[in-house]
Structure 1
Amino acid sequence: MDIQKKIKKLEYMQTEGSNKIFTMYLNTDLSDPDQQGGEWKIHLKNGMRNFEQYLEEGDNKEELENFREVKQKVDDYIKEYEKSLKRGLIVFATADESIWFAERVQMRLDDEFYWQETPELNQLKILGEKYPQTGIILVQQNYIKLLDTNLNMLKDTVGYELDVEEETWRTMQGPRQGNSTTGLGSGNLQKDHFEARYEANQQRWYKSIAGKLDKQAKDRDWKKIFIVGEAPASKELSNQMNKEIDEVILKNMLEHEESKVMQEVLA
């Protein structure tokens, strides 16, 4: 989800009469001490019941019917995705389906429910500011891995491996196969040969990949960029890129799980 585009679209949404917009922010984080017994289900039930009781007392049958239609859509969505809920759930919805937006997010939310003419966007805007489109570039000598993230969730990964003999960076599909040095032999001779060439050519090699990384950052509309890796590789790559780097983290995390990397970098 491109959160900024979604916010801009929702900002112009407004309904009239009985066709109100339902907004929900629901904390579904099972790691939250207050959620160990699945309390989010109780909060959801209470939030929905409060609106229903209020509308019943107001004797607006059409609006009550619209709310119940939205409530059913939300219930159906949760039943379908309950086993894959993350830390929070955001919903914007109308009975006529002119607005339907449901997103499971990897951040803890404050429980909020609204039934009004406009969507309530405050929490969504805060999340957009805190977790914008972000690129994490993991570097380890002859291998570079990009993590494309948004709202603290992984959208895509891309790997580049240097063919030392051809001196070209190749795009890699799928998981990395060990700590290879493409184009070389094996054993200690391979390692010594690579280290010598790396020492002599690292600036030129990283300069040759920097343009591709800048293009990835532009195409993916990264608002923040982190480079993660041991010196001198991470520092040299940072120097060669034209895009502004928000932070260079001197830590080798290339072989770590993506979720661990994101937890470390985006916390």
Structure 2
Amino acid sequence: MEDLQNVVKDLKNVRGTGANKIFTMYLNTDLSDPEQQSGEWKIHLKNGLNNFEHYLREADDQEELKNFQKVKKYVKDYMAEIGRNLRRGVIIIASADGEVWFAERVQMKVENEFQWEEIPELAQLKTLSEKYPKTGIILVQQNQVKLIDTNLNQVRDTAEYELDVEEDTWKIKQGPRQPRSTTGLGSGNLQKELFNARYKANQYRWYKSVAPKLDKQAKDREWKRIFIVGESPASKTLETEMNKEVEEVILKNMLDHEESKVLDTVLD
């Protein structure tokens, strides 16, 4: 999905003329919403579209009615196409002549809103673009660090670093993540005790050494907001050592949680 800030910038210059107005729709399709358990979004969609059509029939404006009916068909066709694969909301901004067409499913809550005016209604779009820019979530747990690269409340990419204890360096982890490695430190309880002792003695130096890698990720991925999630002192140490500004440190261990659960906790 394209950057909403650029979409807002482009749509600010859009103007309808005469009977060729601009249709704007924000539709709540969040199936986890208690008010959506029976597919109420379908009712809101039907009523929102029919209300404009009824008004234009009453006004006996045939040209404008014809234009709206074209847009109505575009909207219904799009909703039929995505109806089995919804997210939390749908945003559509369209004109009958096809010169304006922005239609996206979004993983963000929107309030039901329908407009048929000379200019698009952009207030909710602006709010969403400001609240959900490109964001990095850094999950830290002892010798593992996971990055979740997000935009508009959706996961774009992930990356994981794991500390190679023997080589004393952080490496990008390849393949599925395995249980925390303590290779070469013994076995059983002794292995765990030796690792914990080594971790306690070296944690500051270890996190200081990974911080520049995280700063580079933040720069390359153009993160506007950064959150660190993990238990103290690991998360606090990373915050101190990173050059990039960290918006918030959340003292929770969520490295093994589903990414959607992490987003719900951090961004909502």
- What TM-score results when the alignment is normalised by the length of structure 1? 0.90
User: Match for residue 15 of structure 1?
Assistant: 16
Question: What one-letter code is carried by the residue in structure 2 that aligns with 1:72?
Answer: K
Flag the 1:47–1:190 CA change in 2: closer, same or farther, 3 A.
same
Contact 1:142 1:181 in 2 (8 A): no
Question: What one-letter code is carried by the residue in structure 1 that aligns with 2:28?
Answer: N
Equivalent position SS for 2:103: strand
Question: What one-letter code is carried by the residue in structure 1 that aligns with 2:154?
Answer: M
User: Match for residue 29 of structure 2?
Assistant: 28
User: Match for residue 92 of structure 2?
Assistant: 91
Q: Which moved more, 1:146-155 or 1:131-140?
A: 146-155
Using the alignment, how far apart are the partners of 1:190 and 1:250 within structure 2? 27
Contact 2:143 2:180 in 1 (8 A): no
Using the alignment, how far apart are the partners of 1:181 and 1:18 within structure 2? 70
Flag the 1:217–1:37 CA change in 2: closer, same or farther, 3 A.
same
Using the alignment, how far apart are the partners of 2:15 and 2:222 within structure 1? 29
Using the alignment, how far apart are the partners of 1:108 and 1:248 within structure 2? 24
Equivalenced residue count is: 267
User: Match for residue 222 of structure 2?
Assistant: 221
Q: Which moved more, 1:42-51 or 1:152-161?
A: 152-161
Using the alignment, how far apart are the partners of 1:112 and 1:145 within structure 2? 38
User: Match for residue 246 of structure 1?
Assistant: 247
User: Percent identity over the alignment?
Assistant: 67
User: Match for residue 4 of structure 1?
Assistant: 5
Flag the 1:183–1:17 CA change in 2: closer, same or farther, 3 A.
farther
Question: What one-letter code is carried by the residue in structure 1 that aligns with 2:221?
Answer: R
Q: RMSD in angstroms over aligned alpha carbons?
A: 2.1
Alpha-carbon offset, residue 67 of structure 1: 1.9
Residue by residue over 1:155-208, the C-alpha shift from the partner in whole angstroms, topping out at 9 and shown as x without a partner, is 221111111222222222454222224676653444334333322322222222
Unaligned runs of 5+ in 2: none
User: Match for residue 266 of structure 2?
Assistant: 265
Using the alignment, how far apart are the partners of 1:120 and 1:256 within structure 2? 37
Alpha-carbon offset, residue 89 of structure 1: 1.1
Please give the residue correspondences for 1:177-196 in structure 2 after superposition, counting only pairs within 5 Å.
Answer: 177-181=178-182, 186-196=187-197
Equivalent position SS for 1:138: strand
Using the alignment, how far apart are the partners of 1:98 and 1:152 within structure 2? 28
Contact 2:186 2:194 in 1 (8 A): no
Alpha-carbon offset, residue 137 of structure 1: 0.6
Flag the 1:181–1:77 CA change in 2: closer, same or farther, 3 A.
farther
Alpha-carbon offset, residue 243 of structure 1: 0.8
Using the alignment, how far apart are the partners of 2:101 and 2:185 within structure 1? 54
Using the alignment, how far apart are the partners of 1:44 and 1:110 within structure 2? 12
Question: What one-letter code is carried by the residue in structure 2 that aligns with 1:47?
Answer: G
Using the alignment, how far apart are the partners of 1:92 and 1:173 within structure 2? 42
Using the alignment, how far apart are the partners of 1:163 and 1:171 within structure 2? 10
User: Match for residue 237 of structure 1?
Assistant: 238
Using the alignment, how far apart are the partners of 2:199 and 2:14 within structure 1? 56
Unaligned runs of 5+ in 1: none
